[in-house]
Amino acid sequence: VLIKEANCLHGGGCKPGSERAVAVKKSPKAVHPNVTVMKNAGLVNLFTKIRDAHTGAAEFVQYSKRIMRLLVEDTVAVLPSTPRIVNTPTNVRYKGQVSIIDINPEKVCLVSVIRAGDSLLESFREIFPACSVGKMWIQRNESSSAKEAVHSCTKLPPGIEEMEAVVLCDPMLATGGSSLTALNTLVKDYGVKPERIVFSNVISCPEGLDALAKDYPDVRIVTSWVDEGLNEEKFILPGLGDYGDRYFNTI
Ligand code: PRP
């Protein structure tokens, strides 16, 4: 829906009176049927730090890692699991479950979208070093107005289409161009079933969720935060700037 923005509510990100495409205020689930938005009470403290333009490179990495550690566990929570009953030291039977990534990590492939996705890949590999890994180099063309994704190369493990789950790692979902390019490659070129893919993401927006919902409603998305929307330069607002540049200190 295109609306007239009389006054910018995003701290100066939009020109007063300019027109900006904004998604209708809907719940994230109404935008994408398979999205999970994290609810951890500590996230607001962590996001305040990484959104702050004055946060330096070292602290940005530290606080990002704290968010991504939580995100890894919430992503694992949507992977296939098997019921398991254990006996506790107090002689009580506890009906729980165990995840495929703990039973057979080699049946889960972690795929990062270079470059920022490598930060989230690191967080997964700190806990699950036996998972197989694939990479795709996809960059937004920042000199064009559409900011379309440019795909340079792909390296995925053989047999990825047979894996129990594929976790796509990219901390940012803006227009959806980069993640759609990655999903098209996985599904159309490598035969991975959309329902076996989980997209793990730190910060998203309604426009990106909407773009993914159109082509990939069966791909599950786990995101730490859904922001307001995109500005005219297709940056997420309020956002945190360029995640890759801040994480890898290339501003
Ligand atoms: C960022 C981000 C995503 C993409 C999101 O990467 O990490 O991959 O942009 O934007 P989109 O949804 O509009 O495609 P970028 O291309 O800036 O490269 P980087 O990882 O090197 O920072």
pLDDT mean by block of 10 residues, the chain; 251 residues: 38 44 70 96 98 98 98 98 98 98 97 98 98 97 94 97 98 98 98 98 98 98 98 96 97 90
pLDDT at 26: 84
pLDDT at 178: 98
pLDDT at 5: 42
Q: How far apart are CA 247 and CA 250, in angstroms?
A: 8
Q: What is the pLDDT of residues 77-103, one digit of tens each?
A: 999 999 999 999 999 999 999 999 999
Check if 239 has its Cβ closer than 6 Å to any atom of ligand 1: no
Give, as one character, the DSSP assignment of residue 172: B
What are the residue boundaries of the structural domains of the chain, listed by start? Answer: 26-247
Check if 10 has its Cβ closer than 6 Å to any atom of ligand 1: no
Q: What is the pLDDT of residues 189-231, one digit of tens each?
A: 999 999 999 999 999 999 999 999 999 999 999 999 999 999 9
What one-letter code names the amino acid at 168?
L
pTM: 0.91
pLDDT at 181: 98
pLDDT at 50: 98
- CA–centroid distance, 200 to ligand 1, in Å, is 14
- The backbone region for 12, taken as left when phi is positive above 0, alpha when psi lies in -120 to 50, beta otherwise, is left
Pick the CATH number of 26-247 from 3.40.50.2020, 3.40.50.2300, 3.10.20.440, 1.10.240.10: 3.40.50.2020
User: C-alpha distances in angstroms, 141 versus 151, 163, 176, 233, 249?
Assistant: 10, 32, 13, 11, 20
Check if 206 has its Cβ closer than 6 Å to any atom of ligand 1: no
pLDDT at 4: 37
Buried b (16+ CB within 10 A) or exposed e, 119-158: bbbebbbeebeebbbbbbebebeeeeeebebebeebebee
pLDDT at 56: 97
Closest CA to 201 of 184, 234, 176: 176
pLDDT at 192: 98
pLDDT at 16: 45
DSSP reduced 3-state for 178: helix
Q: How far apart are CA 211 and CA 219, in angstroms?
A: 12
Smallest CA separation from ligand 1 atom 9, residue: 140
Check if 13 has its Cβ closer than 6 Å to any atom of ligand 1: no
